[in-house]
Amino acid sequence: MKLTVKDSEGNDQGELEVQFSMIENGKGTQAVHDVVVAHQAAQRSGTACTKTMGEVAGSGKKPWRQKGTGRARAGSFASPLWRGGGVVFGPKPRDFRKTVSKSTKKLAMRKALSERLKLGDVLILDDLKINSKKTKEFLKIRASLQLKGTTLLVTEAPDQNLILSARNVADVELATGDSVNTYQLLRFDRLVFTRAAFGMIERRLAGE
């Protein structure tokens, strides 16, 4: 597949041949599902937390002597039977992450990118340089490229002017070629890569 390369003003700058092997059939659908579920699970953080008998504040002193008081035996102020005591088998924060193999992650990314390429949702830029950190400079480029809806902008490396000029645009997210993941490739309406960033992703997808 060949992709048209444009500059930041929307003018054609030639073509780019896709180097990785695209997936043309139903292969990889389950891999995409597994990777997306694992990504969303990793974003979860357990917040429910109770203190055990050993964690509640208080002295370790025995409340009263063992015999002779007429009351039941008691060994700690932190007893779960008492108000202010510990909780038995209460919830604790836990790790929700799921393990996915490297080959599955690579297959999922190939599948996701292949589908977005076939749908025409990918735009390649020859380069993207912004000389100012003002938001209006970024919006000017966005208008020239006719980008509508949510947009993922993938560059070769972080650019401070680009980060500052795009951070106030709610429906735009920035990523780099070595950090972009399958979830991001599926989440946005349009995917915009610089030529160098697309080459980085192709190298990541090299081989089976």
Look up the CATH number of the domain holding residue 27: 3.40.1370.10
pLDDT of residue 156 exceeding 90: yes
pLDDT digits (tens, 9 = 90+) for 74-88: 999 999 999 999 999
Question: Both 40 and 111 in a single domain?
Answer: yes
Q: Name the average pLDDT for the chain.
A: 92
Inter-residue contact 193 to 205 (CB < 8 Å): no
Question: Both 190 and 114 in a single domain?
Answer: yes
pLDDT digits (tens, 9 = 90+) for 102-139: 999 999 999 999 999 999 999 999 988 888 889 999 99
If one counts every other C-beta atom within 10 angstroms of the C-beta of residue 94, the result is 10
Domain of 188?
A: 2-44+98-204
If one counts every other C-beta atom within 10 angstroms of the C-beta of residue 160, the result is 9
Question: Both 121 and 147 in a single domain?
Answer: yes
Question: Both 143 and 168 in a single domain?
Answer: yes
Question: Both 112 and 186 in a single domain?
Answer: yes
pTM score of the predicted model: 0.80
Domains of the chain: total? 2
